Amino acid sequence: MNLSKMNHTETRRHGVTEFNLVNEYLSYLQAVRGCSVRTLESYGNDLSRYANYCTNHNIEIQNAAPYEVQSFIADLSAENMAAASVNRCLSSIRGFYRWMVRFDKKKENPCTSLKNIKTPVRMPNVLWENEMADFASLPESSGILWPERDKALIMAMYSAGLRIGEIVTLTMSNISAKFDEAKITGKGGKQRYVFFSDEAKEAILEYLPKRETRLKMAGIDGKKYALFVNSKGKPISIPGVRWIISRYAQYSGIGKNIHPHSLRHSFATHLVNSGCDVRVVQEMLGHSSISTTQRYTHVNIEKMKNVYMNAHPHAKNVEGVKHERKT
């Protein structure tokens, strides 16, 4: 990724520009850390904004003090930027200075003492077990797209907890001979093994002959090719998966904002609800931090709370009067 294409004015200080340092860091993330294009774009946008701030306030980015970084973060909040976006920007800057310290470009990380802005815990959009079963059966009953492929796609994403980027890059060569597990390359090039349930395996095996027919028509050898393809035999794309899921979401009538990541959320929530250890779920999802996985325990608590509020007589509001326990 090249930040020189972005709209900014470079100011040269001590022979090194603010943006050259940022570009050097992004190159490091791409070559050494194996970050995806989307991740690099996200870091690049955050750091470009920060570099512009430093330029406009006569701050040498390699010599910035904690209060100067904090001032930048305060400006973002003053602009009514969402707390999650502000925290993401701070995380980008932390990583940038961590790299500078590691490679002797700066003595200390000015972000060490800075804390994230508190954000409310967002409950992931989840389909409960019965809703997931109904949603997975839609391709067979609706006949609106490609039933065999779509059921296999939904079941593979749900039973293995796959990200949308992982399902579109899944190839036949990464799947076991028994079609019960696959080797996935996730964020940052991190690899993990995922597993397919018997129902997912059955759906994939039912889809494969149809897939082979499409590939033969396109003159493609499918042995090491993408597992999921479109009607022309080309690997299915991320927008393609989003469109497929959105079509079934509209048809379902479930009344939830269902998107591809909802299947991953549902996978994790169902495992946690069934008593699976959170650290095991963390490994299955490929999360680098346990805190990311722990939100699925909150989903279970929220569900229990809703059940309680709807069932317990003292929690119900009857004719506008709340029942209170008399002592």
Question: Residues with catalytic annotation?
Answer: 163, 187, 261, 264, 287, 296
CA distance 43 to 88: 9
Which tokens in the block code for residue 75?
A: 């400006």
Q: Are 185 and 166 in contact (CB under 8 A)?
A: yes
Q: Are 43 and 29 in contact (CB under 8 A)?
A: yes
Altogether, the residues listed in the chain come to a count of 327
- The candidate with the shortest Cα–Cα distance to 87, out of 100, 97, 77, 101, is 77
CA distance 50 to 37: 20
- Beta carbons within 8 Å of 299's beta carbon, 6+ residues apart: 123, 124, 126, 265, 269, 272
In order of 12, 59, 111, the CA distances from 65 in angstroms are: 19, 9, 9
Strand-pair partners of 192: 184
How does DSSP classify residue 317?
Answer: E
Q: Are 177 and 276 in contact (CB under 8 A)?
A: no
- Beta carbons within 8 Å of 31's beta carbon, 6+ residues apart: none
CB atoms within 10 A of CB 190: 12
Q: Are 266 and 132 in contact (CB under 8 A)?
A: yes
How does DSSP classify residue 144?
Answer: S
